[in-house]
Amino acid sequence: MKNLSKLSLALMFLVFFSCSPKNKAVQSGDAATSETSNKTEAVQTANSTNPNSTDVNLNEQASTDEELIKKYIADNGLKAERDPSGLYYVIEEPGSAEKPSAQDQIKAHYHGMLLDGTVFDSSVDRGQPFDFPLGRVIPGWQTGIPKFGRGGKGKLIIPSGMAYGPRAAGSIPANSVLVFDVEVIDFFNQEAKDEEVIKKYITDNKLKAERDPSGLYYVVETPGTAEKPGLENQVTVHYHGTLTDGTVFDSSVDRGKPATFPLNGVVPGWQVGIPKFGKGGKGKLIIPSGMAYGSRPAGKIPPNSCLIFDVEVIDFQ
């Protein structure tokens, strides 16, 4: 692989949550692409030069959605409950007493439909559960998924304002109420899991690491100059990147050529970690997955991977 593609893989900033188009129906704008057919863009309200007019339009749509949802519930003989947000839900199986929170990583199956029964997306049909951080999906899922514990099953009936609002999203028309049959397979706190993995790595390798408030751990072997790079700087660095099991996924050292890049254009773990060193500084960055590539795979890097970088800051300007 050419150096540029290697650098792009290991360093260039990726949004924390950008799933494949196969899981496009429940994602929020943090994972959006510019393609109009992609359903990952955020719930948006119509722009208007008159804010009061926008409020009226939104209120009217919310009322319309409420009527449509109530009719759907009646027509299908459902025993649904209403959340104060306007979301309706049916609990078929509650699952465990413990419920997921906004900070958790979720594994779920879902089958998404419009009110007329049109299927627009389904992990069930694909036979592959959907893994995602709960804080990065549409508001209807952020509110609805915590109604269920592990093993919980049921239905979410989501008003348009908690889905994609007045914009079309692929095969989902504008102002659509969405219906999801969901099953929560598992969930866990990724940050806590990363912390546990990193602490074990530090212990196993007998490292004297410091913890940044961000969750990044680092080892300063040689501090380098007193002056440190900032986000506005162009940085030249040698690096050797591994997973916690020692698997090498990228290395400028192995290629024999350092990498030069704008510090504000790389993963957050580098944005926080590289400024720990001055020119000539050397050490190790131990990066939690949320400050790297999060729940998405990146080449040889599996989803939710903590990354280890041996780094040497050669220069910055």
Catalytic residue among 69, 106, 138, 274: 138
Catalytic residue among 110, 187, 218, 239: 110
Burial of 161 (0-12, 13-18, 19+ CB in 10 A): buried
Please say if 88 is a catalytic residue: no
Catalytic residue among 164, 201, 217, 249: 164
Please say if 132 is a catalytic residue: no
Please say if 180 is a catalytic residue: yes
Catalytic residue among 120, 148, 187, 293: 120
Closest CA to 89 of 44, 40, 129, 147: 147
Please say if 148 is a catalytic residue: no
Which long-range contacts (C-beta less than 8 Å, at least 24 apart) are formed by 125-131? 126/22, 128/22, 129/185, 130/19, 130/23, 130/26, 130/106, 131/105, 131/106, 131/107, 131/295, 131/303
Catalytic residue among 180, 218, 239, 249: 180
Exposure string of 97-120, with b = 16+ CB inside 10 Å and e = fewer, is eebbeeebbbbbbbbbbebeeeeb
Please say if 120 is a catalytic residue: yes
Please say if 157 is a catalytic residue: no
Contacts (Cβ under 8 Å, ≥6 apart) of 187? 100, 104, 105, 106, 107, 134, 150
Catalytic residue among 65, 121, 194, 250: 121
Give the active site residues. 110, 120-121, 138, 164, 180
